[in-house]
């Protein structure tokens, strides 16, 4: 079994649920993908980090840091950073806060000391529905002077996220679409 198939199996076992759920976007859905159940499991984190790092290696623009919105992206960016280090090509991680830090520096972004000024970054999310979270992260990262070279997710629910990001000028790369995950 290859890494991609094993990750799919873990996602279906740990993260996929059927029922009635209200999503972050406010939409109601008959299924839910709780990505953190996979990204916080040792094997799931390892496979997500490895496969996303491989995706970053295919980026036409070199990626100098990897980040995303807390909380969904936290284990992902850490896993990718560790995978990059183990591959001898260390890429630092950063986290974007939902609200600016209320004390100290007041930053939205944690990990700035590890990032070259104005560098090109990859933004990650565990599950994308409408793309709203990623669009907010893009705005905050670009406002801080960084360039977005890649936007990626573990699962794209195929509910408008790819289109919303494309409208803003970004291509969403996904390890799995909903269709690929469920087939």
| Three-class secondary structure of residue 31 per DSSP | strand
Q: Print burial letters for 106-129: b (CB count within 10 Å at least 16), e (below 16).
A: eebbbbeeebeeeebbbbbbbbbb
Other C-beta atoms within 10 Å of 42: how many?
7
Radius of gyration of the chain (CA): 16
Residue 67 near residue 141, CB atoms below 8 Å? yes
Q: Select from 1.50.10.10, 3.10.580.10, 3.50.50.60, 3.40.50.2020 the CATH code of 48-182.
A: 3.40.50.2020
Alpha carbons 111 and 6: distance in angstroms, whole number: 31
Question: Hey, is 129 helix, strand or coil?
Answer: coil
Profile the chain (183 residues) by mean pLDDT over runs of 10 residues: 96 97 87 96 98 96 97 97 98 94 77 96 96 96 97 97 98 97 94
Report yes or no: 114 and 94 within 8 Å, Cβ to Cβ.
Answer: yes
pLDDT value of residue 62: 96
Q: pLDDT value at position 103?
A: 65
Predicted pLDDT at 64: 98
């Amino acid at each position: 079994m290859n890494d991609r198939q094993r990750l799919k199996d873990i996602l279906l076992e740990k993260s996929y649920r059927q029922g009635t759920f209200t999503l972050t976007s406010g939409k109601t859905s008959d299924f839910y993908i709780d990505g953190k159940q996979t990204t916080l499991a040792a094997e799931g984190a390892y496979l997500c980090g490895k496969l996303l790092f491989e995706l970053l290696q295919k980026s036409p623009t070199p990626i100098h840091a990897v980040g995303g919105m807390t909380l969904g992206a936290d284990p992902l960016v850490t896993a990718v950073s560790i995978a990059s280090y183990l591959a001898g090509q260390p890429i630092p991680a950063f986290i974007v806060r939902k609200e600016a830090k209320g004390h100290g520096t007041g930053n939205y972004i944690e990990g700035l000391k590890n990032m070259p000024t104005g560098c090109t970054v990859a933004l990650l999310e565990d599950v994308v529905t409408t793309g709203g979270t990623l669009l907010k992260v893009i705005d905050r990262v670009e406002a801080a002077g960084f360039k977005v070279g890649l936007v990626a997710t573990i699962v794209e629910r195929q509910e408008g996220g790819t289109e919303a990001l494309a409208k803003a000028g970004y291509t969403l790369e996904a390890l799995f679409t909903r269709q690929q995950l469920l087939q």
